[in-house]
Amino acid sequence: MRGTFIRTLEKMAKADKNIFLLTADLGYKLFDNFRDNYPDRFVNVGVAESNMIGVAAGLALSGKNVYCYSMVPFLTMRTFEQIRVDLCYHNLGVKLVGVGGGLVYGLEGMTHQAIEDISIMRSLPNMTVTAPGDPAEVECLIEESVRYKGPLYIRLGKDRDPVVHETAPDFKIGRGIVLKRGKKAVLFAAGNVLPAAKAAVEALEENGLSITLVSMHTIKPIDKKLVIECARRTKAVFTVEEHSLIGGLGSAVAEIIAESGEKVIFRRIALPDAYSKYMGSSGYLRKKYGLTPQAIANRITKELKKK
């Protein structure tokens, strides 16, 4: 996803001389092309994320279109108050691009894993929160982001994220993408868990359970209309995300369901409210925490049997 991000941003920067890219000393080699082509619009601000947000605000107030890059925890958590005051309060169109959403940096340990970021960013007024599900969505999102108003958080996976959309998706910030229609339930997925969600839905289809699959790449503002429509049709709503149970996609969908009056089964499939006690790669941790296609499919089957 990060490769797609920078390739798309380079393309946009060619046409738009206002685009600036700041990094807090991350992305070795990733930005070489951008830096060589636009040396005046690329800054490594050093290992100093909070300062980066303030500098980005200043540049934005000078009419620049600024993208800030770092790993998710350092980009969204250390800098929380700078984001709140400098960006959100003034509704500045600074884009925060975080690499390593969820368990991507599994073996690096908890400092590099990100399970609370969506919740944290979602709580900020004016902030838009996105977690694209595959490189195709990243490309669309970066293209749209250039003209997007207000602060925008983009939660990426890392590299070699599988492509889910075989053709260009019908992408718009704030609108979920229905990948498949089915009657028994709906599964909303956000972020780099989308390939696993798709595989789970395909496995369920083979077992005679036809499920609607939605890529909910924008968690805030959430596509309320789509959530209610799918809930009404299927009467069984599931969410899946590589994020803590608290405050992410599951919470966002739950808020809508609870207030809608729809009587449905509702279950969140997510990481527990805990730091990983295991040490391992992202693949291993996904197995441990039930985020593999098989585990997702089993969970949905089990819950639907209770119906």
Partner 1 sequence: MGKDDIKKLEETAKKIRRSIVETLSSAKAGHTGGSLSVTDILTVLYFKEMKIDPSRPDWEDRDRFVLSKGHASCGLYCALVERGYFAKDLLSTFDRTDGCLQGHPDMHKTPGVDMSTGSLGQGLSVGAGMAAGARLLKKSFRVFVVLGDGEVQEGQVWEAAMYAGHNKLDNLTAIIDYNKLQLASRVQDAIDLEPLADKFRAFKWNVIGADGHSIESLCKAFEKARKNKGRPSVIIADTVKGKGISFAENKVEWHVRVPKGDEIAKALDELK
Applying CB under 8 A, which of residues 89, 148, 266, 284 lies at the interface with partner 1? 284
Q: Are the C-beta atoms of 224 and 256 separated by less than 8 Å?
A: yes
Residues 160 to 189 in contact with partner 1, rule: CB under 8 A: none
* Nearest residue (CB) to partner 1, 38 versus 188: 38
CA distance 45 to 57: 14
Give the shortest CB-202-to-partner 1 separation in angstroms. 27
**Interacting stretch for partner 1, rule CB under 8 A, among 48-56, 95-103, 148-156, 216-224?**
48-56
CA distance 53 to 23: 10
State the binding string over 125-164 for partner 1 (x if CB under 8 A, else -): ----------------------------------------
Applying CB under 8 A, which of residues 58, 109, 125, 272 lies at the interface with partner 1? 109
* Nearest residue (CB) to partner 1, 110 versus 163: 110
* Nearest residue (CB) to partner 1, 106 versus 176: 106
Q: 42-49 long-range contacts, Cβ below 8 Å, gap at least 24? A: 48/24, 49/24, 49/74, 49/75, 49/78, 49/79
Helix (H) or strand (E) holding 209: none
Ramachandran bin of 119, using left for φ above 0, alpha for ψ from -120 to 50, beta for the remaining angles: alpha
DSSP, residue by residue, 118-187 = HHHHHTSTT-EEE--SSHHHHHHHHHHHTT--S-EEEE---SSPPP--SS----BTTB-EEEE--SSEEE
Applying CB under 8 A, which of residues 2, 9, 41, 73 lies at the interface with partner 1? 73
Residue 107 in contact with partner 1, rule: CB under 8 A: yes
Q: Read off the tokens for 174.
A: 């704030």
Give the shortest CB-284-to-partner 1 separation in angstroms. 5
Using the structure block, give the residue that is written with the tokens 């005046």: 40
The DSSP bridge pattern shows strands 128-130 and 152-155 to be parallel
CA distance 262 to 250: 16
Of 33, 76, 104, residue with least CA distance to 271:
104
* Nearest residue (CB) to partner 1, 29 versus 306: 29
Interface size with partner 1, residues (CB under 8 A): 30
Residue 44 in contact with partner 1, rule: CB under 8 A: yes
**Interacting stretch for partner 1, rule CB under 8 A, among 70-78, 90-98, 130-138, 160-168?**
70-78
Residues 208 to 237 in contact with partner 1, rule: CB under 8 A: none
Question: Under 8 Å CB-to-CB from 147, ≥6 apart: which residues?
Answer: none
Give the shortest CB-47-to-partner 1 separation in angstroms. 5
Residue 47 in contact with partner 1, rule: CB under 8 A: yes
Residue 28 in contact with partner 1, rule: CB under 8 A: yes
Applying CB under 8 A, which of residues 112, 181, 220, 299 lies at the interface with partner 1? 112
Question: Under 8 Å CB-to-CB from 15, ≥6 apart: which residues?
Answer: none
Residue 281 in contact with partner 1, rule: CB under 8 A: yes
Residue 278 in contact with partner 1, rule: CB under 8 A: yes
Give the shortest CB-167-to-partner 1 separation in angstroms. 36
* Cα radius of gyration rounded to whole Å, the chain: 19
Chain positions contacting partner 1, by CB under 8 A: 23, 25-29, 31, 44-51, 73-74, 78, 105, 107-112, 278-281, 284
